[in-house]
Chain A
Amino acid sequence: MANVQPGRTVPPVPSGPTPSPLSRRRLLGGAAYAAGALALPVGLAGCEKPTEGGSGGGTVTFGSNYSDEVPKKAIAEVLANSGLDVKINTVDHNTFQENITRYLQATPDDVFTWFSGFRMQYFAAQGLATDISDIWQTIGGDFSAAMKQASTGTDGKQYFVPFYYYPWALFYRKSLFQEKGYQVPTTWDDLKALAGKMKSDGLIPIAMADKDGWPAMGTFDYVNMRTNGYDFHVSLMAGKESWEDSRVKQVFTLWRELLPYCQPGANGRTWQEAAQSLGQKQTGMYLLGMFVGQQFQGEVAADLDFFPFPQIAEAHGQDAVEAPIDGFMISSKVKNVDGAKELLRYLASAKAQNAYLKSDPNNVATHNGADTSGYSALQKKAVELVGGAKQISQFLDRDTRPDFASTVMIPSLQSFLNAPDDVDGLCRRIESQKKTIFAS
């Protein structure tokens, strides 16, 4: 980063005609301008803040990471019907996430979009979010206990209003399973047997992509929760367990049994490409979040189905479901507290969630009373899956420290996919990095 200096590409020619003062000034102006442009992204986090200070009253600012076409339009429609004067400030999804720390410290919007789990608790613990326990006293009855728990900070107060979630499961094409007579597997051995059958039928049994770094985390989470249970997942993510524990090694060993059936070259493939291979029936199944549906239209979309990750250890059955929840929080520097809380109450209503999901049907509403009659078969099944879950996990990178997830787990899982045989070395490296990160 230190070398943004433009290379001096012009040879030091002995200057012939003296440049006029005007052109020199213009040059300096240009340099200053360029310097300003370079410095700009630093302040990017909060610079979009509208300066309409005096108006007060009804205006609520809304920092949104719904930057993709479909969600952006959907949330705008929902907010327009809130009866409040909401000013939306949309930032690209990834940029929003990367700048969140600076954003919340600078001049954040009143209400902002965020994720539940550790990622919510972290900022709440830093004092960057406003306690909304009072809202939960009125809306509490509309949500399941699991949802309330997912909205609660480490201090026992609520900081988050859940909006929708999307479960992770193994997706497949119904027509392919019918055609070949495959049965949905419910145990680990069934899964391997099915994969073996698919392989002999000339299919790649399991689609796999990890170029983006995070998709493989889903597989790790599921194998871990099926083998060691949800509680172990939570304490492992919280840094309380050793990664050199035999239970963790067991996860990698089991995962390794599956690798011969997985699409090779996962680290060079995006999840979209892997999804395409599922759509084209080159691969048999694909473990991903429900957003995989975005990749399919028409007939293929209707042909898409999923089954929950099979049981590994009997004690844990198929209890846990990985279903990340997206929702909203109020920043601690909120200007219009009453307006912000009113907006959250509205967003917590079944009406708002129904309106949103009508436009973006790759998710499921969090509200108990949300209208499910308009749901697709897949959405209905997702409600069932999550409703029947004993525990709901968020996702590896939402359940642990962001620095650990991004700088340790992403490279580690990728290196596991490249060289699955060195489980001991892998676990040792993860553990020693984990120790230093969780100590800081």
Chain B
Amino acid sequence: MTPTPTAPPVEAGRAAGVPRSPARRRRRRIGRFTPRDIAVIGLLLGLPLLLDLGLIWGPALASIGLSFTSWDGLGEIRPVGLDNYVNIVSNYPPFWPAVWHNLLWLAFLGLVATPFGLFLAVLLDREMRFTRFYQTAFYLPVVLSLAVVGFLAQLIFSRDYGVANAILGRTDNPVDWLGDPSINLWSVLLLVGWRHVGYVMLLYLAGLKAVDPVLKEAAAIDGANEAQTFFRVVFPTLRPVNVIVLVITVIEALRAFDVVYAINRGRNGLELLSVLVTDNIVGEASRIGYGSAIAVILLLISTGFIAVYLVQVFRREDEA
């Protein structure tokens, strides 16, 4: 969150110092930091580091530790080895559906919602009429909290009173959009996608505005058509934005929680790993060891994606 904390203190030190003799300056270069600099750096780096250790690494390591135990939050913590993991994989019916739903979520956001957001951004970048209006309209859902989206879902998709069935004229044999486990995930993904598209659109729009028009002109002069210009020239220059969008998409897909929780507490076809963690740890259930093991599995999946992604980035950077 802090923008490059090392650079400013040096600046500050230099600004504070009056012009010095060359000899002093050389010595200064060896021991670059004054005690005050070190104190400032220590504070600026140390505090975030402490927060990071205390709030992210601490709990993460504690979860990993607890995942090998059985603990109800009250009595003693009993080590059980790999029992929790074996149990989750072989004896917990909601687990595999939850993994599958998380992956489906990721695929939908990555392959449908994100490209569609890019498509909208390209359209809006053409300065058509009412661009501002469209921008606002598409971005509006992003402002809504997912809990509100969950509430909207109820109004639209409720089997008996929802708008969707009324519009489709399915009042005699209504579709159970949220209750039928074979379709409710898609109803939810539609809503989540609706929200995600706006977000992605905005990011790409910002990126597209920053693309130098000279590039496009040059491509046109070279005889490239619209599609070629976009895919060969404009899109590659959007790489920083692509990276951000990709990361956001992965994060959104793996931390998905609130919509399904608001709709039916993430059950009956809407199971997600995050919900299973909550179900087991929070609440009266208090299967803390068991829930921690699910959390660790979620952590491993996230780490997997992040690792793959980082390897890709570094490899490309080496090539460049």
* Interface contact A28-B47, CB-CB below 8 Å: yes
Please, how many angstroms separate the alpha-carbon atoms of A19 and B297 in the complex? 40
Confirm or deny: A77 has a beta carbon within 8 angstroms of a beta carbon on chain B. Answer: no
A-B contact count (CB 8 A): 156
* Interface contact A406-B55, CB-CB below 8 Å: no
Please, how many angstroms separate the alpha-carbon atoms of A126 and B286 in the complex? 14
Collect the chain A residues with CB atoms within 8 Å of residue B255's CB.
3
* Interface contact B180-A268, CB-CB below 8 Å: yes
Confirm or deny: A211 has a beta carbon within 8 angstroms of a beta carbon on chain B. Answer: yes
Given contacts A31-B1, A406-B283, contact A11 B244 (CB under 8 A): yes
Encode B51-67 as 1/0 by CB contact (under 8 A) with A.
Answer: 10001100110010000
Confirm or deny: A277 has a beta carbon within 8 angstroms of a beta carbon on chain B. Answer: yes
Confirm or deny: B75 has a beta carbon within 8 angstroms of a beta carbon on chain A. Answer: yes
* Interface contact B247-A8, CB-CB below 8 Å: yes
Collect the chain A residues with CB atoms within 8 Å of residue B248's CB.
7, 9
Please, how many angstroms separate the alpha-carbon atoms of A353 and B180 in the complex? 43
* Interface contact B8-A403, CB-CB below 8 Å: no
State the majority secondary structure of interface residues on A: helix
Tell me the nearest residue of chain B to A128, going by C-beta.
B74
Encode A147-179 as 1/0 by CB contact (under 8 A) with B.
Answer: 000000000000000000000000000000000
* Interface contact A418-B268, CB-CB below 8 Å: yes
Collect the chain A residues with CB atoms within 8 Å of residue B4's CB.
15
Interface size band for B = 35 or more
Interface positions of B from 233 to 274, Cβ below 8 Å from A: 240-241, 244, 247-248, 251, 254-255, 264-265, 267-268, 274
Taking a contact as CB atoms closer than 8 A, the residue among B2, B7, B251 that contacts A27 in the complex is B2
Confirm or deny: A358 has a beta carbon within 8 angstroms of a beta carbon on chain B. Answer: no
Taking a contact as CB atoms closer than 8 A, the residue among A11, A98, A273 that contacts B282 in the complex is A98
Give chain B nearest CB distance to A92 CB in angstroms: 13
Tell me the nearest residue of chain A to B60, going by C-beta.
A2
Tell me the nearest residue of chain B to A210, going by C-beta.
B268
Please, how many angstroms separate the alpha-carbon atoms of A97 and B285 in the complex? 10
* Interface contact A1-B277, CB-CB below 8 Å: yes
Interface size band for A = 35 or more
Please, how many angstroms separate the alpha-carbon atoms of A21 and B158 in the complex? 53
Please, how many angstroms separate the alpha-carbon atoms of A418 and B97 in the complex? 15
Taking a contact as CB atoms closer than 8 A, the residue among B3, B268, B283, B299 that contacts A267 in the complex is B268
* Interface contact A265-B93, CB-CB below 8 Å: no
Confirm or deny: A420 has a beta carbon within 8 angstroms of a beta carbon on chain B. Answer: no
Collect the chain A residues with CB atoms within 8 Å of residue B284's CB.
97-98, 100-101, 119, 402-403, 406
Given contacts A2-B63, A7-B248, contact A402 B286 (CB under 8 A): yes
Given contacts A5-B56, A27-B1, A28-B2, contact A410 B267 (CB under 8 A): yes
* Interface contact B2-A39, CB-CB below 8 Å: no
Confirm or deny: A217 has a beta carbon within 8 angstroms of a beta carbon on chain B. Answer: no
Please, how many angstroms separate the alpha-carbon atoms of A407 and B73 in the complex? 16
Give chain B nearest CB distance to A208 CB in angstroms: 11
Q: Identify the interface centre among B59, B160, B177: most chain A CB within 10 Å of its CB.
A: B160
Please, how many angstroms separate the alpha-carbon atoms of A437 and B80 in the complex? 13
Tell me the nearest residue of chain A to B298, going by C-beta.
A2
Give chain A nearest CB distance to B83 CB in angstroms: 8
Confirm or deny: B159 has a beta carbon within 8 angstroms of a beta carbon on chain A. Answer: yes
Q: Identify the interface centre among B74, B241, B244: most chain A CB within 10 Å of its CB.
A: B74
Taking a contact as CB atoms closer than 8 A, the residue among A39, A213, A433 that contacts B91 in the complex is A433
Collect the chain A residues with CB atoms within 8 Å of residue B161's CB.
273
Collect the chain B residues with CB atoms within 8 Å of residue A119's CB.
284
* Interface contact A8-B244, CB-CB below 8 Å: yes
* Interface contact B244-A101, CB-CB below 8 Å: no
Give chain A nearest CB distance to B298 CB in angstroms: 7
* Interface contact B177-A268, CB-CB below 8 Å: yes
Give chain A nearest CB distance to B199 CB in angstroms: 9
Please, how many angstroms separate the alpha-carbon atoms of A27 and B43 in the complex? 13
Confirm or deny: B176 has a beta carbon within 8 angstroms of a beta carbon on chain A. Answer: yes
Confirm or deny: B70 has a beta carbon within 8 angstroms of a beta carbon on chain A. Answer: yes
Collect the chain B residues with CB atoms within 8 Å of residue A403's CB.
72, 280, 284-287
Give chain B nearest CB distance to A402 CB in angstroms: 4
Collect the chain B residues with CB atoms within 8 Å of residue A126's CB.
74-75
Please, how many angstroms separate the alpha-carbon atoms of A268 and B164 in the complex? 14
* Interface contact A411-B240, CB-CB below 8 Å: no
Encode B37-49 as 1/0 by CB contact (under 8 A) with A.
Answer: 0000000100110
Give chain A nearest CB distance to B119 CB in angstroms: 21
Given contacts A2-B60, A31-B1, contact A406 B285 (CB under 8 A): yes
Interface positions of A from 259 to 286, Cβ below 8 Å from B: 264-269, 273, 277
Please, how many angstroms separate the alpha-carbon atoms of A421 and B251 in the complex? 39
Given contacts A7-B251, A15-B7, A18-B11, contact A436 B177 (CB under 8 A): no
Please, how many angstroms separate the alpha-carbon atoms of A189 and B91 in the complex? 38
Give chain A nearest CB distance to B7 CB in angstroms: 7
Please, how many angstroms separate the alpha-carbon atoms of A412 and B94 in the complex? 10
Encode B160-179 as 1/0 by CB contact (under 8 A) with A.
Answer: 11000000000000101111
Taking a contact as CB atoms closer than 8 A, the residue among B48, B75, B160, B254 that contacts A28 in the complex is B48
Please, how many angstroms separate the alpha-carbon atoms of A386 and B132 in the complex? 65
Collect the chain A residues with CB atoms within 8 Å of residue B8's CB.
18-19, 21, 24
* Interface contact B48-A273, CB-CB below 8 Å: no
Give chain B nearest CB distance to A178 CB in angstroms: 26
Confirm or deny: B125 has a beta carbon within 8 angstroms of a beta carbon on chain A. Answer: no
Interface positions of A from 393 to 440, Cβ below 8 Å from B: 402-403, 406-407, 410-412, 414-415, 418, 429, 432-433, 436-437, 440
Please, how many angstroms separate the alpha-carbon atoms of A440 and B7 in the complex? 54
Please, how many angstroms separate the alpha-carbon atoms of A247 and B44 in the complex? 67
Please give the residue numbers on chain A whose beta carbons come within 8 Å of chain B beta carbons, in ascending order: 1-3, 5-9, 11-12, 15, 18-19, 21, 24, 27-28, 31-32, 35, 38-39, 97-98, 100-102, 105, 119, 126, 128, 211-213, 264-269, 273, 277, 402-403, 406-407, 410-412, 414-415, 418, 429, 432-433, 436-437, 440
A-B contact pairs, 12 of them (CB 8 A): A3-B251, A3-B302, A27-B2, A28-B44, A101-B73, A265-B159, A268-B179, A273-B160, A407-B279, A412-B93, A433-B93, A437-B287
Please give the residue numbers on chain B whose beta carbons come within 8 Å of chain A beta carbons, in ascending order: 1-5, 7-8, 11-12, 44, 47-48, 51, 55-56, 59-60, 63, 70, 72-75, 87, 91-94, 158-161, 174, 176-181, 184, 203, 240-241, 244, 247-248, 251, 254-255, 264-265, 267-268, 274, 277-280, 282-287, 295, 298-299, 302
Q: A2-B298, A403-B72 are in contact. List 14 more A-B contacts (CB 8 A).
A: A2-B59, A7-B247, A9-B248, A11-B241, A11-B244, A24-B2, A24-B5, A24-B8, A31-B51, A98-B283, A105-B74, A126-B75, A265-B174, A402-B286
